[in-house]
């Protein structure tokens, strides 16, 4: 999986690096703020999940496997990443006014965050 650049050209890898630095401190609010800043800069919700949080979790696993992170620090880093994922719906803009009430295929929209982002559930 490679990092993707949003339309404004912002490098998602730079945001992932910032998130890694924050996750290492265990500061949940700062990690959520980092994700919010990335979204405001034009990074998509899908990229926040896959290219930022995913990259951080991949690195957590690599560092743990190389015995550079204790189990406690690995758990703390994962908890911070989970907090970012949990906060993501609240960071996304509201459903646009005038948008159809149904998604293509005739299934009713429930206005959930994963339906507003490019990361969709089946």
Three-class DSSP category at 109: coil
Selected residue with higher pLDDT from 115 and 41: 41
Position 93 scores a pLDDT of: 75
Dihedral of the alpha carbons of 31, 116, 12, 27, in degrees to the nearest 10:
0
Domains of the chain: residue spans and CATH = 17-90 (1.10.1240)
Q: What tens digit of pLDDT does each residue of 43-56 get?
A: 999 999 999 999 99
Reported as a single tens digit per residue, the pLDDT across 17-37 is 999 999 989 999 999 999 999
pLDDT-based confidence at residue 8 (cuts at 50, 70, 90) = very low
Phi/psi for 89 (5° steps) reads -55, -40
């Amino acid at each position: 999986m490679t990092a993707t650049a949003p339309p404004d050209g912002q490098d998602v890898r730079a945001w992932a690096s910032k998130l890694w630095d924050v996750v290492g401190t265990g500061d949940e609010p700062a990690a959520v703020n980092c994700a919010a800043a990335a979204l405001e800069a034009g990074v998509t919700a899908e990229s926040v999940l896959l290219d930022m949080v995913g990259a951080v979790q991949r690195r957590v696993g690599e560092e743990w496997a190389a015995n550079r992170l204790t189990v406690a620090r690995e758990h703390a880093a994962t908890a911070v990443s989970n907090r970012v994922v949990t906060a993501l719906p609240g960071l996304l803009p509201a459903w646009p006014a005038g948008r159809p009430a149904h998604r293509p295929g005739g299934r009713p929209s429930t206005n959930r965050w994963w339906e507003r982002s490019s990361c969709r559930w089946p």
